[in-house]
């Protein structure tokens, strides 16, 4: 859902002397990247440009994230909180979000700091990087080079392994084989320009349809 001028008019800019805190969240992983501030103009420019623009309290002016470093934030969605005095900005980071050259301003941004489910977004970025850079020692790159048929075959093989583990293996084996299946599925999706997020959205849509049907 897009953020409209009517949504802007409902925001309480007066509470913060014309500024609203803007929490930036990674669209893929859900990680909190940074906190900055927006005035009305910064918010309008963000919506116009499709890239996140803030108001700098030190410079007393607008600044687009990444205008000097190149580490920009591609806008996905903006939401306000229940009191209309704080913004949640969902974005796709292009490069590190923090001036320390780390992915986030909170912690070091290491993958092991992410909640386990959110790691899937990080995994997809690693796969995309492997497909772009094609390092010789990368299993991902080597399998991708063998083509869609071989990648799809691996998905089938791992699916069988999951089924066998579910019926004859222990819990650890089932988890391990499931991890193999999800990795190879993510690779096949990436090769087709798709993502696990799109699979999740399909599940979400099905849930909404079935929930609505019961009302």
Q: pLDDT tens, 21-56?
A: 999 998 888 889 999 999 999 999 999 999 999 999
- At the top level of CATH, which class does the domain 5-93 belong to? alpha beta
Res. 197 pLDDT band, cuts 50 70 90: confident
pLDDT tens-digit map of 92-130: 999 889 988 888 898 765 656 556 667 888 899 899 999
User: Would you say the CATH fold of 115-214 matches that of 5-93?
Assistant: no
Length of the chain (residues): 215
Domain boundaries, the chain: 5-93, 115-214
Write the CATH number of the domain with boundaries 115-214. Answer: 1.10.287.1080
Q: Is 21 helix (H, G, I), strand (E, B) or coil?
A: strand
pLDDT tens-digit map of 184-194: 999 999 999 99
CA dist 115 and 121 (Å) reads: 11
| Parallel/antiparallel/unpaired status of strands 87-93 and 20-26 | parallel
Question: Average pLDDT over the chain, rounded to whole?
Answer: 91
pLDDT for res 111 = 56
107 vs 200, higher pLDDT? 200
């Amino acid at each position: 859902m897009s953020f409209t001028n009517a949504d802007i008019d409902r925001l309480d800019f007066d509470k913060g002397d014309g500024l609203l805190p803007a929490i930036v969240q990674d669209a893929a992983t859900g990680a909190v990247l940074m906190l900055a501030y927006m005035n009305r103009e910064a918010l309008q420019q963000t919506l116009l440009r499709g890239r996140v623009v803030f108001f700098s309290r030190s410079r007393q002016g607008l600044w687009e994230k990444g205008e000097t470093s190149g580490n920009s934030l591609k806008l996905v969605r903006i939401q306000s909180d229940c009191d209309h005095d704080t913004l949640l900005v969902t974005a796709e980071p292009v490069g590190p979000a923090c001036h320390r050259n780390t992915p986030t301003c909170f912690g070091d941004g290491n993958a092991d700091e992410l909640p386990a489910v959110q790691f899937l977004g990080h995994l997809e970025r690693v796969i995309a990087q492997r497909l772009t850079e094609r390092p010789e020692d990368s299993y991902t790159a080597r399998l991708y080079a063998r083509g869609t048929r071989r990648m799809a075959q691996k998905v089938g093989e791992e699916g069988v392994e999951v089924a066998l583990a579910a019926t004859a293996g222990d819990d650890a084996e089932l988890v391990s084989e499931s991890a193999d299946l999800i990795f190879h599925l993510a690779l096949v999706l990436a090769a087709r320009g798709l993502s696990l997020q799109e699979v999740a959205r399909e599940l979400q849509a099905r849930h909404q349809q079935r929930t609505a049907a019961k009302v």
